[in-house]
Amino acid sequence: MPTNFIAGDYVTFDDSTSNTNVNISVANVNPELVIFNNNSQSYSVGGSFGITGTAA
Amino acid sequence: MTVADTASAVIANGGLTGAATFTVNSLTFGGAATFTPVLSAPGAAPAVATATLVNGSGLVTVNPSVLAATPTWAAGTYDLLSSGSAPTLGAFSLVAQSSILKLRTVRQSAVLALDGNALALVVTGGLPIWTGADDGVWATAPDLVTPFHQNWSVVNTPPRPCPPISLPAIM
């Protein structure tokens, strides 16, 4: 089920998507926890903003 | 084994680096006590197993935690305390949701329930996994309701269903 990201979320990046380009272009994002659980997919995280907070 | 009638009397298994089952032939809660099960994954062996369980008059506070190496709670049913017969659910009280470490309370909730002859913790609610399906932009929404760069999905593994309740036949 599609959902938003909200501040403090625990987020996971895995192999279940075909879109592995992550664009942080609106503002900094502040997750509590970031998990990269990827084996076959290579992710690119970019944009004019970044990851802040405890997960940075 | 008897656990004394005080909240400072604690029964636990494993330790944060392990979640092995603590097995005891007979377990008696003398009254109010604290039970701190350490859990690994839904469907795993119970934290504590006993053939005979006796509860005193006080509520036993349940303060569960997940293994230190496990970053989040997966949705599902975690058996906490199995017994030769079904425990009395009302003899146990779960700590406040906000006190359960690593439970993402905005998206997840946890309740005590019976899973056959086991006291169980049922965790519902999934955590976001990147899809990039909307526009590939990672941005912060003001809330969970209004769609906003929905590049995430949640998968909520439903807990195991409870057995059906037998009702008397209507004559």
Q: How many CB pairs under 8 A join A and B?
A: 111
- Closest-CA distance, A53 to chain B, in angstroms, reads 13
Q: What gap in Å lies between CA A28 and CA B136, rounded to an integer? A: 15
Give the residue on B whose Cα is nearest the Cα of A43: B130
**pTM of this prediction exceeds 0.80:** yes
Could you tell me which of A14, A10, A5, A2 has the C-alpha nearest to residue A43?
A: A14
- Closest-CA distance, A40 to chain B, in angstroms, reads 15
pLDDT of B92 strictly over 70: yes
Per-residue model confidence as pLDDT tens digits over B150-160: 999 997 655 45
B159 in any annotated domain: no
Instruction: Give the count of domains, chain B.
Output: 1
B98 in any annotated domain: yes
ipTM above 0.85, yes or no: yes
Give the residue on A whose Cα is nearest the Cα of B144: A4
B168 in any annotated domain: no
B134 in any annotated domain: no
Range of the domain at B34: 2-127
Burial, A54: exposed, middle or buried (Cβ in 10 Å; 0-12, 13-18, 19+)? exposed
B58 in any annotated domain: yes
pLDDT of residue B1: 78
Cross-chain CB nearest to B138 (options A17, A29, A33)? A29
Q: Does A42 touch chain B (CB under 8 A)?
A: no
B136 in any annotated domain: no
Structure confidence at residue A56 as a pLDDT band (50, 70, 90): low
- Closest-CA distance, B32 to chain A, in angstroms, reads 34
Using an 8 Å CB-CB cutoff, list chain A residues near B103. Answer: none
Residue with the bigger pLDDT between B163 and B2: it is B2
Cβ atoms of B14 and B49 within 8 Å: the answer is: no
Identity (one letter) of the amino acid at A31?
A: P
B41 in any annotated domain: yes
Per-residue model confidence as pLDDT tens digits over A5-44: 999 999 999 999 999 999 999 999 999 999 999 999 999 9
Interface touch B139/A26, C-beta < 8 Å: yes
Structure confidence at residue B19 as a pLDDT band (50, 70, 90): confident
Interface touch A11/B152, C-beta < 8 Å: yes
Of A20-24, A52-56, B64-68, give the range with the top mean pLDDT.
Answer: A20-24
pLDDT of residue B168: 63
Arithmetic mean of pLDDT, B118-130: 95
On the CB side of B17, CA atoms within 13 Å amount to: 0
- Pair of tokens at residue B140: 């912060």
Domain boundaries, chain A: 10-46
B142 in any annotated domain: no
